Amino acid sequence: MSVAQDPFSLSGKRVLVTGASSGIGRQIAITCSQMGAQLVITGRNTERLEATATALHGEGHTAIPADLSQQQGLDLLADQAGALNGVVHAAGISKLVPFRLISKSHLDEIFDSNTYAPLLLTKGLLARKRIASNGSILFISALSSHSGAMATSAYAASKSALLGAMRSLALEVAKQGMRANCIAPGYVRTPMLDGLGQGGGNMDALFDLTPLGMGDPEDVAYASVFYLSDASRWVTRNYFILDGGLSTPMDIYA
Ligand SMILES: NC(=O)c1ccc[n+]([C@@H]2O[C@H](COP(=O)([O-])OP(=O)(O)OC[C@H]3O[C@@H](n4cnc5c(N)ncnc54)[C@H](OP(=O)(O)O)[C@@H]3O)[C@@H](O)[C@H]2O)c1
């Protein structure tokens, strides 16, 4: 396999990013466009999705609004996405709910958007042969899938499920030269995190534990570019914790 002169370039690649109407997905789409990719972006809120489309660099991008918790939305996106070299599953939701209060409807709501949507969308794209033979499939999981956090059992479980599914998927698509990986971010400044703070989470205490402080969407976007580019052509079934050092919080300076 040959790599472009700049192995980190996304020039000539067409990349689908879900959750592109806000936060991390929005920044992944913008950064990918800056690295030369042509984007297919999706989200539910058409106004914010259009704002992301306007912020993209270069030409030829496509915005497809869709609710990915509905089969209709998944089918529409898989039908209209066209040929792809990369897919980033960044869409997701989060709610703080203590374990004693979880219910089937809460689990369904979280799993529909965080787990079933990325898995079923991937299935739909593969079934329609939308992803090129050297394509890269990237799931945005979360640090809590690995470490757990208070009142996030449904969310953490929905994100852990991506890890197991990705490892199996990566084996199945390797023969076609496709790769599948997960990025698990720690705390990143986005509207989702603002919502958790307003929902009663003691976020400041968690931020204080992070040696490099809170992350920005750009930090996840830069890692995503690596996973989408030919620079990561030998990287698959990989689970990358990107957390500013939070998951090993021993304070050796104390
Ligand atoms: N922020 C963090 O600290 C953090 C840490 C670890 C992992 N993550 C993960 O990173 C991803 C992005 O999070 P974020 O912080 O950027 O959140 P965000 O700002 O709330 O953005 C979430 C995005 O997901 C989309 N989305 C949610 N449910 C959807 C559905 N059913 N169908 C289609 N689109 C849907 C939203 O679309 P609309 O707004 O258009 O409805 C929005 O574009 C999520 O998967 C999240 O779990 C975030």
pLDDT at 115: 98
Whether the per-residue pLDDT at 253 is higher than 90: the answer is: no
- Cβ of 48 less than 6 Å from ligand 1: yes
Number of residues that make up the chain = 254
Residue 193 banded pLDDT, cuts 50, 70, 90: confident
26 CA to middle of ligand 1, Å?
9
> 171 near 236, Cβ under 8 Å?
no
> In this structure, are strands 14-17 and 84-89 parallel, antiparallel, or unpaired?
parallel
Mutation test residue for ligand 1: of 192, 194, 242, the one with most atoms within 8 Å of CB: 192
Pocket lining: 67 vs ligand 1, CB cutoff 6 Å: yes
Atom of ligand 1 nearest to the CA of 94: 47
Q: How confident is the model at residue 41 (pLDDT cuts 50, 70, 90)?
A: very high
Q: Each residue of 127-183: pLDDT tens digit?
A: 999 999 999 999 999 999 988 888 899 999 999 999 999 999 999 999 999 999 999
Q: What is the pTM of this model?
A: 0.96
Q: Which domains does the chain have, with CATH numbers?
A: 14-242 (3.40.50.720)
Report the separation in Å between the CA atom of 233 and the middle of ligand 1, taken as the mean of its atom positions: 27
